[in-house]
């Protein structure tokens, strides 16, 4: 693989390095955030040789590369100057922003945790083969592995600072304060310690997670305060000194103990579940992991996983269930590949099934099980069954890594039977899912589009009759006017369907109404555009005019807000068409399905007139 060439192609289709605000990688994926998502061509990215898939989760784009992802990430960084100091995209909801913060904080440190855990697994094998734990070789390699966990606060300090926008080196220094040998000595001695007559709780912060995140969060405010009050001639000296002298004592006195208590509660809760109902969490995770991944909610478990690794040296919350779930995705896809008579689906399901068994499930989930529906039911049942076995047998994951056949060593630890039971759980999930998928069956792709609604027949004649899957969702016109093919819009981003497929309307009225039942996802600050999601999950962008963002909200009145539930026909927005055109702007309004990539096809009417409420888009 030519990493430099692949990096260049990726940069070309994401709007260049200057459009990237966040860039990191995990075991198989590039994780990217952008200033302007309209410049990201998802379909073009998917066609690049070396890219296995593209998805968007928790407000972040994932470009699946495989084991070479770190080399590709480094090549991108070398090829372009990337400004990663910008704040995250505020257009996402609060939950997505929190999940994005978790992902950005923990993802960069995963390679270190993975390395530490895998070295521990190698040591276990060496001991089984006769190595003495008292030998110098064992001791040296063991403390090399321990370093990845013990100095976790410093690594998390750096990644947290990068995400929250404060100085990462000062943050790392605060992490060093928590781990300093002098403080560790005070903790070991156990004698009372105080600062300015204020008692300091003695806590061992090695391998801790929550305390340093709280400290760096506090530091973002202190650093801004120090910047504001420091005189310009001495700001270079005064700002960092004030920051450290405020943050370090507050962390030792308040935030460190608070974070330690939170970590203790998390660890205690995890230990309680593992001790008293060990089958419950792996069963639920095995069953519902596809839904967690689909919504991005799996990121919310990262603090729990990290706390468990650093407290016990393993975790049983996500690893066992996700292993079974990933194998079940592969089983369902392979069952579909063997049963289907459609050559295209057979090829897609076969390749997706193999990659899912290796731990990369996006092609299987988005391309097969989620689309065909019934195989996803089989995955949920099979995942729950295998997860239940893993739970009652006490299977744990000793280090981070995407669970699959290639990464089974992450289940090697002190208990030699752990990996055996992990393999049995995966096998149970595979067999149950494969058989259920075969029995439940699925709708074969049809040869042509059939308009079963019997409405708007004149408009339906313009819909391209392609091979599609059976389920569909209808988008009705939110605006009265003339329908225009997207390719004729005088804006390359929309015309080339970079943001997704859809249609445009040259408005004759001045109202925008809800095109379906659903919710408001985003009302843009400049009021010229609004993002919606219907009850089937179709995400729609209604963009009034071309380049009207420059009007900064003039001539637009929005009647809804983020999170509002909407019914078809509800008034969303009004705009002054005459004044917008008088300012020199084209009022033609693109209506885009922004998550086009997760559907089999998006069909749209490409000419004629439309009243608000007429069908204009069919999503399959």
Q: Where in the chain are the domains?
A: 3-90, 151-276, 280-303+310-440, 457-619
Q: 572 pLDDT band (50/70/90 cuts)?
A: very high
The highest-level CATH class for domain 457-619 is mainly beta
Helix pair 343-357, 319-339: axis angle to 10 deg? 160
Residue 67 confidence (pLDDT) above 70: no
Over residues 591-615, the mean pLDDT reads 81
Instruction: State yes or no: pLDDT of 461 exceeds 80.
Output: no
Q: Which of 340-349, 462-471, 585-594 has the lowest mean pLDDT?
A: 462-471
Q: Is this structure's pTM higher than 0.75?
A: no
Give the active site residues.
Answer: 26
CATH fold group of domain 3-90: Gyrase A; domain 2 (3.30.1360)
CB 332 within 8 A of CB 395: no
| β-bridge partners, 200 | 193
The pLDDT-based confidence of 109 (bands split at 50, 70, 90) is confident
> What's residue 59's pLDDT?
67
Overall average pLDDT of the 438-451 stretch? 65
pLDDT at 469 over 60: no
Residue 28: predicted pLDDT: 63
Which pLDDT band holds residue 406 (cuts at 50, 70, 90)?
confident
Task: Inform me whether the pLDDT recorded for 70 exceeds 80.
Answer: no
Alpha-helical regions (H) of 296-410: 302-312, 319-339, 343-357, 362-364, 370-372, 374-392
Output b/e per residue, 15-54; b: 16+ Cβ within 10 A.
bebebbbbbbbbbbbbbbbbeebbbbbbebbbebebbbbb
Tell me if domain 3-90 and domain 457-619 are identical in fold.
no
| pLDDT value, residue 495 | 79
Query: Cβ distance 267 to 312 under 8 Å?
Result: yes
Tell me how far the alpha carbon of residue 225 is from its chain's centroid: 32
pLDDT in tens, 188-223: 898 999 999 999 999 999 888 899 999 999 999 999
pLDDT at 181: 93
**Average pLDDT for 231-239:** 87
Check if the beta carbon of residue 578 is closer than 8 Å to that of residue 477. Answer: no
Average pLDDT, the chain: 83
Q: How confident is the model at residue 27 (pLDDT cuts 50, 70, 90)?
A: low
Q: State yes or no: pLDDT of 498 exceeds 50.
A: yes
The answer to whether residue 482 scores a pLDDT higher than 50 is yes
Q: Look at 86-95, 161-170, 438-447, 519-528 and tell me which has the smallest mean pLDDT.
A: 86-95
Average pLDDT of 260-271? 83
Instruction: Provide the pLDDT confidence category of residue 243 given band limits of 50, 70 and 90.
Output: very high
pLDDT of residue 37: 86
The values of phi and psi at residue 504, to 5°, are -125, 155
pLDDT for 84: 46
Instruction: Read off the pLDDT of residues 339-356 as tens digits, 9 standing for 90 and up.
Output: 998 887 888 788 888 988
Token duo for residue 100:
């994005």
């Amino acid at each position: 693989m030519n990493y430099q060439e692949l990096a260049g192609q990726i940069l070309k289709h994401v709007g260049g390095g200057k459009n990237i605000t966040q860039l990191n990688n995990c075991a198989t994926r590039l994780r990217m955030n952008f200033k302007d998502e309209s410049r990201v061509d998802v379909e073009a990215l998917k066609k690049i040789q070396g890219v296995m898939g593209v998805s968007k989760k928790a407000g972040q784009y994932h470009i699946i590369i495989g084991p070479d992802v770190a080399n590709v990430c480094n090549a991108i960084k070398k090829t372009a100057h990337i400004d990663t100091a910008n704040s995250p995209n505020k257009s996402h909801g609060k939950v997505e922003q929190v999940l994005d913060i978790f992902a950005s904080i923990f993802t960069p440190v995963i390679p270190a945790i993975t390395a530490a855990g895998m070295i521990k697994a190698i040591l276990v094998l060496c001991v089984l083969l006769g190595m003495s734990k008292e030998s110098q070789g064992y001791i040296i390699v063991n403390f090399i592995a321990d370093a990845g966990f013990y100095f976790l606060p410093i690594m998390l300090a750096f990644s947290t600072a990068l995400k929250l926008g404060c100085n990462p080196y000062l943050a790392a220094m605060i992490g060093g304060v928590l781990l300093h040998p002098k403080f560790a000595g005070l903790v070991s001695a156990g004698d009372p310690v105080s600062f300015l007559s204020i008692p300091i709780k003695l806590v061992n912060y090695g391998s801790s997670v929550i305390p340093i995140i709280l400290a760096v969060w506090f530091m973002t405010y202190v650093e801004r305060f120090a910047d504001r009050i420091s005189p310009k001639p001495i700001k270079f000296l005064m700002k960092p000194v004030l920051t450290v002298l405020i943050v370090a004592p507050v962390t030792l006195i308040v935030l460190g103990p608070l974070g330690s208590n939170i970590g203790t509660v998390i660890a205690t809760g995890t230990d309680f579940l593992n001790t008293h109902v060990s089958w419950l969490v792996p069963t639920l995770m095995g069953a519902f992991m596809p839904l967690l991944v689909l919504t991005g909610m799996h990121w919310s478990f990262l603090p729990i996983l990290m706390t468990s690794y650093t407290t016990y040296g393993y975790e049983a919350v996500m690893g066992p269930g996700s292993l079974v779930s990933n194998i079940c995705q592969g089983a369902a896809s392979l069952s579909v590949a063997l049963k289907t008579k459609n050559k295209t689906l057979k090829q897609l399901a076969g390749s997706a099934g193999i990659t899912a068994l290796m731990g990369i499930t996006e092609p299987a989930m988005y391309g097969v099980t989620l689309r065909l529906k019934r195989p996803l039911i089989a995955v949920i049942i099979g995942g729950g069954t295998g997860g239940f076995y893993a739970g009652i047998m006490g299977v744990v994951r000793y280090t981070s890594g995407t669970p699959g056949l290639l990464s089974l060593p992450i289940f090697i630890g002190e208990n030699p039977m752990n990996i055996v039971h992990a393999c049995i759980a995966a096998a149970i999930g595979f067999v149950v899912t494969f058989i259920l998928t075969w029995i439940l069956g699925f709708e074969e792709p049809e040869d042509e589009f059939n308009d079963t609604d019997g409405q708007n027949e004149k408009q339906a004649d313009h819909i391209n009759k392609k091979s599609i899957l059976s389920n569909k969702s209808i988008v009705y016109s939110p605006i009265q006017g003339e329908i225009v093919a997207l390719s004729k819009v005088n804006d390359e981003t929309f015309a080339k369907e970079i943001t997704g497929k859809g249609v445009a309307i040259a408005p004759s009225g001045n109202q925008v109404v809800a095109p379906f039942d659903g919710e408001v996802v985003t009302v843009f600050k400049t009021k010229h555009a609004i993002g919606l999601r219907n009850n089937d999950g179709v995400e729609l962008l209604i963009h009034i005019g071309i380049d009207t963002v420059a009007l900064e909200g003039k001539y637009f009145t929005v009647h809804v807000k983020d999170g509002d539930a909407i019914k078809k026909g509800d008034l969303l927005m009004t705009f002054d068409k005459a004044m917008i055109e008088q300012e020199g702007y084209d009022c033609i309004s693109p209506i885009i399905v922004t998550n086009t990539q997760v559907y089999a096809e998006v069909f749209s009417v490409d000419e004629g007139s439309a009243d608000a409420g007429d069908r204009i888009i069919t999503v399959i």
